[in-house]
Homo-oligomer: A and B are copies of this chain.
Amino acid sequence: MEFEIIAKDAMGRICRIETPHGRIETPTVLPVINPNIPFIPPDEMKNFGAQALITNAYIIYRTLAEEAVSKGVHRILRTDLPVMTDSGSYQLMVYGDVEVSNREILEFQKEIGSDFIIPLDIPTPPDADYETARKDLEITIEREREAKELNGISSLVLPIQGSTHMELRRESAKKAKEIGGDVYAIGAVVPLMDAYRFKDLVRIILEVRSVLRVEPVHLFGCGHPMVLAMAVALGCDLFDSAAYALYAKDDRYLTVYGTKKLSDLQYFPCNCPNCSKMDPEEVRELEKAEREIFLAEHNLYVTFSEIRTIKNAIKEGSLFELVEKRIRAHPNLISAWRQIKDYSPLLEDSDPRIKKRFLYCGIETLMRPAVKRHLESVKQLDFEKEVIVISTDLGVLADIYVRPVFGPVPAELLESYPAGHAEIPEAEFIEKEALEMAVENLRDFMRCLNDKKFVVHVSGRWKDFVKDLPGECEYVLH
């Protein structure tokens, strides 16, 4: 499979994937199409921004096998978009059993001309005991090997399982990488999504990304616009989702800040062509079938405009800022995202060194690679003067200014990215952590200049933080 990374930000990227049915530009969401109940016609999916579709090969196998083999899956769905086919593994999770073998369903996917085929992996749910998860994973790996042997021209998607056992997720990723797929798909995470267990979700993605550093990664079933920005920033490229339809049937309305019930809405908090035309009261009065289509279309509009928003953020280097806004949809997202602190080498490995802007959003801003890199680079600088003047106040003439978050910023770097370009709330209004990190960085910097003397001007709220500096310091309080 041809795969090219064309832009990067945080751990996210914009990639191009070539398929026999054309190019996909990631990140993107593949709407789930039920081959027997085409709710929103697949040929309309392009209008919302869809670049590829996903359907269930097992359902086709059970209900339309002959027709599908003769016509191919694209004509069955009436689409010319690339199609990924799932294997029945979802049915395995829900019903515990499927009436097809791994080999059969793989051969079938090839026969119907799927662009992306998936073996019949075992989706071990979260919190499974270790032994069960390990045994399930063994079967999954065996089936992935079989898939690799059978595969022809389709792209091969290798699921990553292991329940909530991080060592098994890593093991699954390692084994899949050895086998060699085109796309790696993190599976059995929908129950985590549904229970707002975003901390586990993020941990799993980061563990998998620690093994699969550059490969295309799909996150099975997580297409809710509330998590897309975060998941992309963690390195997920592809998503699929039936939420647009399932939620619509249940009178629920997707937003980037969570799901709303239609019955609770007084005004549509949305801009889409549908929500610009009607108000919630009018939609509630529609016939069920019309209402479902209204909501499903809204759900698709909001999903793909979020994808555009994310891609634009990657292009402008503001994906961290976008995620730091989006996680405020729910406190569990805040906790979840702040785990990136434990994965800083991974982040530093992929995040671009130069961006246009740096806007502070909250204490998770301190975890951006730019902060650590700034400290490393100022620690390399040489200073000729014997006495270094340091000031927390930009109004005082100094060699080094102390800024929240970054700490020491040499006067000549006050116009440079990141610390100079950074837009940060004033010391009086910022979180304590941002001042503490600044002072910790200042101490670290001063320790590298152990032959110097320092004059330190300290003003306002900084007085509570600038203390215990190393070396010979004269303090001037303002």
A424 at the interface (CB under 8 A from B): yes
Nearest to A436 among chain B residues (CB) is B432
Contacts of A312 in B (CB 8 A): 265-269
Among B257, B308, B332, B431, which residue has its beta carbon within 8 angstroms of that of A325?
B257
Q: Name the contact of A269 in the complex, choosing from B270, B313, B324, B331 (C-beta under 8 A).
A: B313
Whether A305 contacts B275 by the Cβ 8 Å rule is yes
**CB distance A425 to B301 under 8 Å?**
no
Residues of A within 8 A of B (CB): 48-49, 257, 264-273, 275-276, 301-302, 305, 308-309, 311-313, 315-316, 321, 324-325, 328-332, 334-335, 338-339, 359-363, 423-426, 428-433
A347–B359 alpha-carbon span in the complex (Å): 28
For A266, give the chain B residue with the smallest CB separation.
B315
Taken together as a complex, chains A and B put the C-alpha atoms of A338 and B360 apart, in Å, by 14
Most buried by B among A268, A271, A311, A425: A271
CB neighbours (8 Å) of A428 from chain B are 335
State A143–B276 Cα separation when bound (angstroms).
41
Give the distance to chain B from A282, nearest Cβ to Cβ, in Å: 13
Question: How far is the CB of A295 from the nearest CB of chain B, in Å?
Answer: 14
Residue ID in chain B nearest A302 by CB atoms: B271
Write out the residue numbers on chain B whose beta carbons fall within 8 Å of the beta carbon of A423.
330-332
Question: Shortest distance in angstroms between A27's beta carbon and chain B's nearest beta carbon?
Answer: 11
- Complexed CA–CA distance, A328 and B432 (Å): 17
Nearest 5 pairs of A and B residues by beta carbon: A269-B309, A271-B305, A267-B308, A335-B429, A271-B271
- Interfacial chain B residues near A308, Cβ < 8 Å: 267-270, 275
Assess whether A332 is in contact with B425, with CB atoms less than 8 Å apart.
Answer: yes
Cβ B311 vs Cβ A330 within 8 A: no
Given contacts A272-B272, A305-B276, contact A331 B359 (CB under 8 A): yes
Most B CB contacts (10 A, CB to CB) among A275, A360, A425 go to: A425
Question: Does A267 lie within 8 Å of B332, measured CB to CB?
Answer: no
Q: Among B273, B332, B430, point to the contact of A273 (Cβ < 8 A).
A: B273
Q: Could you jot down 19 A-B contacts, CB within 8 Å?
A: A48-B276, A49-B276, A266-B311, A266-B315, A267-B309, A269-B308, A269-B312, A270-B305, A271-B305, A272-B272, A276-B301, A321-B328, A325-B325, A331-B423, A332-B425, A335-B426, A335-B429, A338-B425, A338-B429
